[in-house]
Amino acid sequence: MPQGELIYLDNNATTRVDEEVLNAMLPFFTEHYGNASSALHQYGWRAAEAVKIAREQTASILSVTPEEIYFTASATEAINMALVGLHAQYSAKRNKIVTVKTEHKAVLETCIFLQQMGAEIIFLDVNRQGLIDIKELEKTVDDKTSAVCIMWANNETGVLQPLAAFADIAHRHGAIFMSDTTQAIGKVRVDLNEMGVDIACVSAHKFYGPKGVGAIYLRRKNPRVILPTFIYGGGQESKLRAGTLNVPGIVGLGKACEVAMGHLWNYGADMSRLRIALEQQLCANHHAFVNGTMRDRLPNTSNICLQSLAIRNKISAMSHLAISTGSACASALAEPSHVLLAMGLSNDEAFNSIRFSFGRYNTMEEVRIVTDFFNNLVPSA
């Protein structure tokens, strides 16, 4: 939705909170402000009941059971908890973790930390489409591997990896299959059992929920995933992560899951319409190309290289567009995106690429304004 003249096309960075989600949260700041651990009075019971409902709602969007959901402060925290925990739990017998160069920094930086702690970390390559070569994965995973960690939807390109095939390889070697599912939740249908995912993560603010709340899914059966305590204290979240629960945030996460499920069919169709209109216009006029496979990707995400427009030198002219350029998730850094470089783009191509990520509040009129803007930019000499 425009804020003044501003057009927000950065919904993979974060989203506006849905009205229904906000209304569900508000009473838990004021009237129902109890601590969910206070077992002796009504304030506590009310908060605990709200957390229970949110756990059910979160489990439902993932098609898993509520007992497999643990609340966290973010997807980043969930990823740290999982990778650090897996290393602590299994490294004596299995010291290897296999991941991919195009993962979010939450995974990459945690893996680099574990490498410094003595873990063997394999960072797999991707091809120009952003996809992993399954034969490479087959060759890399072995009986020393504790976990294979591959994201479902890439935050910069929207490319979706075929997780079920990867999970199968991990399981054949007795390894845990973990996936950073942060960008896919609320955007595509999810069934973690069907895909064989053992550990997954959720972040409310990526799908119209509040910032600062997320969840981790840990499979209970076949295989049962057990992680050691990540935060010590009062024993909340089954002793995995202590700390007073963020009840309003958790209520918001649960509600955001419920609302997202209700919107799912329309979301896919609506986002695809906006994305197709944008891509057709930009690619027809500027020898532009879409980064990543166009077959399996998020409906709302389009990463386009507009090299002929020398976008890199025109950032200041784009102040009315909230988009991501260069390094999409850390766009304040003047570095080319590690994702695009891993896909084989040159530095120049990466710097001249833009991530457009649509959301429920965007309109076709906004797409028209954006495409007109780019069509009126003077190509570089």
Residues near ligand PLP (CB under 6 A): 74-76, 104, 106, 151, 155, 180, 182-183, 203, 214, 329
Q: Which is nearer to ligand PLP, 51 or 153 (CB)?
A: 153
Provide, rounded to whole angstroms, the least separation between the CB of residue 105 and ligand PLP. Answer: 8
Pick the catalytic residue from 111, 149, 283, 329: 329
Q: Which is nearer to ligand PLP, 62 or 282 (CB)?
A: 62
Provide, rounded to whole angstroms, the least separation between the CB of residue 331 and ligand PLP. Answer: 11
Provide, rounded to whole angstroms, the least separation between the CB of residue 60 and ligand PLP. Answer: 20
Q: Which is nearer to ligand PLP, 324 or 371 (CB)?
A: 324
Token representation of residue 336? 């080319």
* Distance between first and last Cα of the chain: 34
CA distance 283 to 288: 5
310, 352 Cβ separation under 8 angstroms: yes
Q: What are phi and psi of 21, to 5 degrees?
A: -65, -45
CB within 8 A of 345, min separation 6: which ones? 291, 305, 336, 353
Provide, rounded to whole angstroms, the least separation between the CB of residue 241 and ligand PLP. Answer: 14
How distant, in Å, are the alpha carbons of 52, 127, 330, 348 from that of 336? Answer: 43, 17, 10, 8
> How far is C-alpha 279 from the geometric centre of its chain's CA atoms?
23
Has 283 been annotated as catalytic? no
Provide, rounded to whole angstroms, the least separation between the CB of residue 324 and ligand PLP. Answer: 10
Number of neighbours of residue 125 by Cβ within 10 angstroms: 13
CA distance 220 to 235: 19
Provide, rounded to whole angstroms, the least separation between the CB of residue 246 and ligand PLP. Answer: 13
Side-chain-side CA neighbours of residue 126 (13 Å):
27
Q: Which is nearer to ligand PLP, 75 or 200 (CB)?
A: 75
CA distance 360 to 346: 33
Q: Which is nearer to ligand PLP, 27 or 212 (CB)?
A: 212
61, 199 Cβ separation under 8 angstroms: no
CA distance 232 to 244: 12
Torsion sign, CA atoms 224, 155, 172, 117: negative
Q: Which is nearer to ligand PLP, 214 or 254 (CB)?
A: 214
Instruction: Cite the DSSP H helix spans in the chain.
Output: 19-25, 42-62, 75-90, 105-116, 134-140, 163-172, 192-195, 247-286, 338-342, 347-351, 364-375
Q: Which is nearer to ligand PLP, 75 or 176 (CB)?
A: 75
Provide, rounded to whole angstroms, the least separation between the CB of residue 203 and ligand PLP. Answer: 3
Active site residues: 329
